[in-house]
Chain A
C-alpha cells in the first residue's frame, strides 16, 4: 500500500423513547401490537387533526441532553420534513430543524489510545414513520401504522471517530446513557436503538474531509463495526484505483457483509423543511430542566470510581457491574442488606451467582433469588458459617426451594466449625496422633502443613473454618 488512510466517522443515533403514548396523538405506543391496532385519526393523517405534544417526550429529551452535558435552549421548535411515502400518512414527518431541544454536548469514550471526547452536535425530537411490508403479499405492499408517530430522539455526533471501534464505543456510551436514564428500553431487535453512520476516508495528514457515504439503519454493535470497516475498505479501493466516491446513501447487508447503494445525492429528496405551523414554539423553563436534572442517575464512570474508591472493588469487577444497570442495582441493594465485604459480594455475584443464572438461562431481572435473600447468604459467608465453596451449594438450594440461606445451612448442618475451643481441641488431637509428621514438619518439611489441614477437614467433613484452622495449626506446630 502506497498510502496511509484514516477514517472519519460521524453517527446519527435514533433512540426510541419509552413513553406510554405517541409523540403527538396520545395513542398507545407499545411495540408488537397487531397491525394498525394503535392508530389514531391523527396517526392516519385524517384531515383536520392536529398534533399535541407529549410532555413526557419533552422531559425525556431534556433528561438525555443533561446527561451529555448539553445546552438546553430556552425554547424549541418543531419543523416539517416533507416527502411522500405510503407509510408517512401526513406526507410530512414532524421533526426539528433550526431549534432542536438539545444543543451541543459531549461524551467521553475509552479508546485504545486512551480517553477521547466525542462532541454531540445536537439531539432533536421527531416522530417515527409507519412500517412498509413488501414481502408479505405478492401483488401488494402492506402498511402498518402502529409505529407512525412514536417518539424518537436523533442524536447527531460530530465526525470525530477515527475507526470502527471508536464508533462502537461511542454508540455503546450513548446506549448506556439512554438505558440508565430510563428513557429507552434498549431493545435492539425491535429497533429501539439504531443508527446511521456517515463514513469517509482521507489520506493521513489531510485536513479536508473526503466525500462521505451514509450507511442506514444499523441496529447492532457488531454490524456497525463490520459495516463501517467494509465501507471504508470499499472507498479506499475506489480511491486507490483513481476513482471518486459518490455521495450517497447505502444499506448494509449483514448476510453478504457488504453495503449497496440506496440512492445518490442527485436523487435525494428536497425535504422542504419549515417550522410546523400547527405548533407554537415550546418554552423550556428552568423548572422543567431542574426537574429532569433531579432525575439523573449515576452513570457507570462515576459508579466505577465509587465502587473502587469507597467499596474496595477491583476495577475490572467494578466496571462489569457498573455497566449493567440491573446488576449494579442488585449489587448495591445486596450490599446494603449485608455485612459482608463488598469485594466478596462482587466476586460471588460475578462468579457463582452469574454462573447459576447462566445455567438456568434466566436474566438477573427475573432471578428467583432477590437481593435481600442473596445478602443473607453473603452474611453466612462473612460470619464464617459457611465457606465460599459450601455457599455455592446453598445458593443452588435457595434457587430450588426458595428457603433462606440460614435455614438451609441449619437444616443440613452445613455450618462451619468456627468455635475456637472446639477447633483447638481438634488441632491438639491431630498433633498428638501424628508425631512422625510433626517432627518432619518441624524439621523443615513445609509441605507437611497441608497434611494436618487435610486431617482436620477429613474429621470435620470439611466444616472446619479454614482460616481459623490454619492459624491454630501454625500456632501449635511452632
Chain B
C-alpha cells in the first residue's frame, strides 16, 4: 500500500480491498517504526480518534469521497482539540487546545484520519528544523542532513512515507524549501485561500497553511478540502469555492512559462542549475513556451522579510507571558520577573532573536526607516509579479540554492536566511507557489518552484501534475524507508 496515490488508496477503500483501519494501521505502524530515526513527529497518537473513523466510514459508505480514510499528520502549530499542540516550543510543551483549527476540522469533515503532530522549527522560525525543543528532524535521504524547515517534520514524514499527506505552513518558504530538500511536492496557496484560524501565528500577513504530499494531484485533492472562506478569519478571502481539476493529458501547449534567468544562472551549485534547466526544458518538451521575465526588486525580498516577519512575530508572541497558559517560571518574585523568566525559559534562541529584532524594528524612531520601508519593498515586489504575469501564466525557478546541508553546518542566522531568497518573494506577494521534485544531485533531492497568479492554484498544480505524468521523480523514496 505504500507509495500509492490518494486516488489509488481511495479506490481500494471503495472496492473494499482494504478497510480504513487497515490502511491507517499500515501508516500508523510506519510512524511508530520510523519516528525514532527521523524525529519527524512530536506526538504520535496512541489510538485513532473514533469520531474521525466514523466520519470516514460514513463518507466512504456514501461513495465518491476521495479523502475518506486517508491518514495524515498535522504540523504541530495547528490547534487540535484535546491533543497537545506545542509549536515545537518549551513554551507550549504541555498546551492542549480546547478547539480545532479550521484546517483540522475541515479535513476531519472530509474524512481524513489524524495519526500525529509533526515536528517543526520552534514557532515556524527556521529553515533547517534544528530549532525544535523536541530535537532535530533527520532528512530521510541522509540522516546526517537537515530536512529543511520550518515544516521539516511534515516533509520528512511524507518523504519516509510515514504518512501519505501532511499539513504544513509557509511564511517565507516553510513548505517549499523542506519539500525540495526532502524530494516531495508541497504547495503554499494564495494568502487568504485557507483559513488561519487555529493556526498558531508566526507572521500573520504571510502565514499560510498548505499541503505536503508525494504528488501534485495528492496536494490538489487535500488543498481543495482545506480551502474556502472562514468567518473566523477576517483575512480569508471571499472567493468562490475551488475544486482541483486534474488535467487529462500532459500536453502543455499554449502555456507560457516565465523564467527568471538570473536566479538560475546565478546558482552556485551546478547540479541544481542543471536539474532546474532540465525540468524547465521538460515543460518545453511537453509544449510549454518559455519566456524571460524579470523581478527587479526581488533581491530586496530577504531584507524586507526579515523586518516584517519578526515585527509581526514580536507582537504575535506577546501572549506567551506565563500568566494564563504555557510555560510559567518557577522563580518569580514580581511581575517583571514572571514575564522575563517565563519567556527566557520558554522560548528558544532563534525565537528570542526574532522577537528582539522585530520589537526593535517597530520601536519609535525606527518604525519609518525599517517597518514602513519594508512594506514599500513588499509593494514593489508585488508590482514586479503583476507585471510579469501580464506576459506569462506562471514563473518557474529554483526553490533552494542548495541541497540539504548537514546538521550544525550553518550556525549563523544570516547565511541561513539567504537560503530563503527564492521562496520569500512569492510569500511577500501572497502568491500561490509550490515545489516539486525534479531529480537528485549528490544523492539528494532538488525541487523546482512554480509561482502562479493570485488565486490560481489550479495552473501551477496542473503543470506540476502534467510534469509528473511524464516523469517519476516524485515517486522516488529513500532506500532506508522503502
Contact = CB atoms under 8 A, between A and B. Distances in A.
Given A84-B318, A89-B323, A273-B362, 11 more contacts: A44-B324, A45-B319, A46-B97, A47-B87, A47-B92, A49-B197, A86-B321, A86-B335, A274-B362, A278-B235, A279-B234
Contact of A91 (B87, B205, B315): B315
A429 to B, nearest CB: 85
Interface stretch (B18-26, B143-151, B363-371, B400-408): B363-371
Interface of A: 41, 44-53, 80, 82, 84, 86, 89-92, 143, 270, 272-274, 277-280
A352 B336 CA distance: 61
A270 B321 contact: no
Interface string B203-226: 111000000000000000000000
B237 to A, nearest CB: 9
Contact of B312 (A51, A277, A279): A277
Interface residues of B, number: 44
A91 B321 contact: yes
A287 to B, nearest CB: 17
B75 interface: no
26 contacts: A46-B98, A47-B79, A47-B85, A47-B319, A48-B78, A48-B200, A48-B201, A50-B197, A52-B231, A52-B234, A82-B318, A86-B321, A86-B323, A91-B315, A91-B318, A143-B323, A270-B363, A272-B315, A272-B359, A272-B362, A272-B363, A273-B362, A274-B371, A278-B204, A279-B234, A280-B235
Contacts of A51: 234
B91 to A, nearest CB: 10
A272 B356 CA distance: 12
Given A89-B324, A277-B203, A50 B335 contact: no
B366 to A, nearest CB: 10
A51 B232 CA distance: 8
Counting chain A CB atoms within 10 Å of each CB, the highest count among B92, B95, B199, B324 belongs to: B324
A104 B323 CA distance: 40
Counting chain B CB atoms within 10 Å of each CB, the highest count among A41, A49, A92 belongs to: A49
A272 B92 CA distance: 25
A90 B201 CA distance: 12
Interface string B287-321: 00000000000000000000000011011011111
Contacts of A278: 201, 204, 234-235
Nearest to B343: A84
Contacts of B314: 82, 272
A52 B323 CA distance: 24
B233 interface: yes
B232 A50 contact: yes
Contact of A274 (B199, B231, B234, B311): B311
Contacts of B34: none
A96 to B, nearest CB: 15
Interface in B318-336: 318-321, 323-325, 335
Interface of B: 78-79, 85, 87, 92, 95, 97-99, 101, 196-201, 203-205, 231-235, 311-312, 314-315, 317-321, 323-325, 335, 339, 359, 362-364, 367, 371
Nearest to A141: B335
Closest 9 CB pairs of A and B: A91-B318, A277-B204, A277-B205, A272-B362, A45-B319, A48-B198, A47-B200, A48-B79, A90-B319
Contacts of B95: 47
A362 B324 CA distance: 45
A90 B325 CA distance: 12
Nearest to A86: B323
Given A86-B335, A90-B319, A280 B234 contact: yes
B325 A52 contact: no
B326 to A, nearest CB: 8
Contacts of B101: 48
A84 B336 CA distance: 9
Given A44-B324, A46-B98, A274 B319 contact: no
B234 A50 contact: yes
B429 to A, nearest CB: 15
B413 to A, nearest CB: 22
Contact of A50 (B98, B233, B311): B233
Nearest to A143: B323
A27 to B, nearest CB: 13
A92 B234 contact: no
A380 B400 CA distance: 93
A172 B236 CA distance: 42
Given A92-B318, A274-B315, A53 B234 contact: yes
Contacts of A270: 363-364
A446 B459 CA distance: 108
Counting chain B CB atoms within 10 Å of each CB, the highest count among A48, A82, A273, A280 belongs to: A48
A82 B234 contact: no
A6 to B, nearest CB: 31
Contacts of A82: 314-315, 318, 359, 362
A50 B199 CA distance: 9
Contacts of A47: 79, 85, 87, 92, 95, 97, 200-201, 319-320
Contacts of A44: 324
A48 B77 CA distance: 9
Nearest to B371: A274
B197 A48 contact: yes
A270 B361 CA distance: 12
Contact of B321 (A48, A84, A274, A280): A84
A47 B199 CA distance: 8
A390 B92 CA distance: 77
A334 B233 CA distance: 50
Contacts of A274: 311-312, 315, 362, 367, 371
Nearest to B375: A275
Nearest to B203: A277
A46 B325 CA distance: 8
Contacts of B205: 277
Contacts of A272: 314-315, 359, 362-364, 367
A50 B362 contact: no
Contacts of B233: 50, 52
Nearest to B99: A41
Contacts of B197: 48-50
A47 B313 CA distance: 12
A23 B317 CA distance: 21
B313 to A, nearest CB: 10
B167 to A, nearest CB: 14
Contacts of B315: 80, 82, 91-92, 272, 274
A273 B311 CA distance: 11
Contacts of A41: 98-99
A45 B324 contact: yes
A278 B202 CA distance: 11
A472 B319 CA distance: 86
Counting chain A CB atoms within 10 Å of each CB, the highest count among B97, B234, B235, B364 belongs to: B234
B171 to A, nearest CB: 12
Contacts of A143: 323
Counting chain A CB atoms within 10 Å of each CB, the highest count among B196, B200, B323 belongs to: B323
A105 to B, nearest CB: 27
B357 to A, nearest CB: 13
A247 to B, nearest CB: 15
A284 to B, nearest CB: 15
Contacts of A49: 197-198
A84 B321 CA distance: 8
A41 B320 CA distance: 14
A90 B318 contact: yes
A53 B92 CA distance: 28
Contacts of B324: 44-45, 89
A146 B428 CA distance: 37
Nearest to B235: A280
B349 to A, nearest CB: 20
A155 to B, nearest CB: 24
A92 B320 CA distance: 12
A31 B79 CA distance: 31
Contacts of B235: 50, 277-280
